Structure 1
Amino acid sequence: MRKGLIIAYHRVNSSGKDPMAVSVENFQAQMKYFHERGYSSLTLADYSNMINQNDLPKKSLVITFDDGYRDNYLFAFPTLKLYGFRATIFLTVDFIGTSDTFPMDKNKWDKINDEDLPLSWEQVLEMKKYGVEFGSHTCSHWHLDELPEKELIKELVDSKRCLEENLQSTVTSFCYPSGRFNQRVKEAVCQAGYLAAVVTPRLRQVDEDIYSLKRIGIYSNDTDWRFRLKTSPYFAAFRDSGLLYQLKNYIPRVILQP
């Protein structure tokens, strides 16, 4: 089975106050890099359908964003259009169309700017018209592996229903908040009607299937050379081999030995 590259962003802005935010300049350079190398941009829905049929283009790229920050529309969307790229944005639906900050941002900054707020439904619909896919990131961004069964199902089903009512289209893609999931959660995601789900593993091993598709996270500290290394097929192979995890545990012990 041929696999493509799935990358994960959260935010795109140049304020410098959020380590999850890639600067506008870096994001533009990263999209230019993919464009010049002939990558085919797919939504997660397209990707999951093609991978099931073993029909992926040779250089497949899925660009994803988590949470649904307004800067996705203000700063990332123009660059995506410039290079003809599509993307999948996972929305935390209780916050979309509100003036509330996301729960992980409460009391995080002294000043809240427009780009720190969630997307509006008008912005979501404009991006959908262009070809951006929207998936679920639950209703409220809880850690799903900690929820009782009834609350878990509610987060999955209610967010899907809300998205489908506002988008007037079927929602099939899902992303686990904070990457927290287990087999029980994966089964619930499947039963809720999603066809694919993504996770951004750090160094820990994750068994990959259609409900735990691995992504490469891109952040503010990813310089040009780090970005190129992380998005190379060699890095993914190194990560998936488990060697990265072993090195993380081995190096501190070596340093601390007398």
Structure 2
Amino acid sequence: MIVLNYHELVEASPSNAWCLTHETFEAHLALCGEALVSPRSFLEHCSDPTSHGTGAVLLTFDDGFLSDYTHVYARYMTAGRIPGFMSFIPVDFVGSPGRMSWEMIEELAKGGVAIGSHGMAHVDLTTVSDAELERELGVSKSMLEDRLGRQVALFAFPYGRFSRRVWEAALRAGYTHLFTIQLGYHRGFESFLYSRLCMTNNMDAEYMRRHLRDPDAMRGVSWKISTKLGLYRQLMRLRYH
């Protein structure tokens, strides 16, 4: 499986590298086609990454931007053009300019969107104290669960940054699936870690076509050698200790 990570979608003139136009997103979806899977299907089968075939694609969105609701949900999901997506919410940003309101997030959840936490204030969790880490993980989870009336077991690391201390705290907080953007493939070196391709506005249709054809093509020599030798997990655990 391949997990794609988007942020804000706009009509034109993206304001930063992670902001994509509607046109680019439409081109990506056209290439994904029938390979798109719902979050529910992904979560049911993610323990076996080959269950959907190597070409299966999951859509995820970070930061709670308004376009999750006005564009992805309203234009694509309610019309049946995509089977669903995951939306990761930084709780402190809810209701601020350009971000979704609680009412919108609640509607997404009722409509089948998988809501996950993105912490409270979108901070690099590897740099905060233990007390702040517990707050970022635990309070955001509790607030989302109180508003949605259901368990929130998905967490995406802000900026994709994590360490063993961070992931162990996330597991203690009750999250079961942790998403990053650093590892380049949907399954990380631990069973609870899932990597995503972070889409930037220079990743056009041709880039997406190449990635869908071979997700490992752009991975480095060190990954290929360590994987072949069966050392990848050990080396990653040392790197993120």
Greater Cα shift, 164-173 or 209-218? 209-218
- With over 3 angstroms needed to count, the CA separation of the structure-2 counterparts of 1:34 and 1:54, relative to structure 1, is closer
Unaligned runs of 5+ in 1: 100-116, 245-258
CA contact (8 A) 1:24 1:76 kept: no
Q: CA deviation at 1:218?
A: 1.4
Matches within 5 A, 1:7-22: 7-16=4-13, 17-22=15-20
- With over 3 angstroms needed to count, the CA separation of the structure-2 counterparts of 1:195 and 1:39, relative to structure 1, is same
- Select which of 116, 130, 133 maps to 1:152: 133
CA contact (8 A) 1:42 1:60 kept: no
Q: Secondary structure at the match of 1:239?
A: coil
| Aligned-partner Cα distance in 2 for 1:243–1:67 | 29
Aligned letter for 2:117? S
Aligned letter for 1:74? T
| Aligned-partner Cα distance in 2 for 1:136–1:79 | 23
Q: Secondary structure at the match of 2:100?
A: coil
Question: Paired residue for 2:233?
Answer: none
| Aligned-partner Cα distance in 1 for 2:58–2:220 | 18
- Select which of 186, 192, 199 maps to 2:167: 186
- With over 3 angstroms needed to count, the CA separation of the structure-2 counterparts of 1:55 and 1:219, relative to structure 1, is closer
Aligned letter for 2:207? R
Matches within 5 A, 1:119-198: 119-198=100-179
- 1:214 paired with 2:195, answer yes
Matches within 5 A, 1:99-138: 99=97, 117-138=98-119
Aligned letter for 1:155? E
CA contact (8 A) 1:10 1:66 kept: yes
RMSD: 2.3
State the TM-score, normalizing by the size of structure 2. Answer: 0.82
After superposing on structure 2, the runs of 4+ consecutive aligned residues of structure 1 that deviate more than 6 Å are none
Unaligned runs of 5+ in 2: 225-241
Q: CA deviation at 1:71?
A: 1.6
Q: How many residues align?
A: 218
Aligned letter for 1:214? S
Q: CA deviation at 1:21?
A: 1.3
Task: State, as a whole percentage, how many aligned pairs show the same letter.
Answer: 25
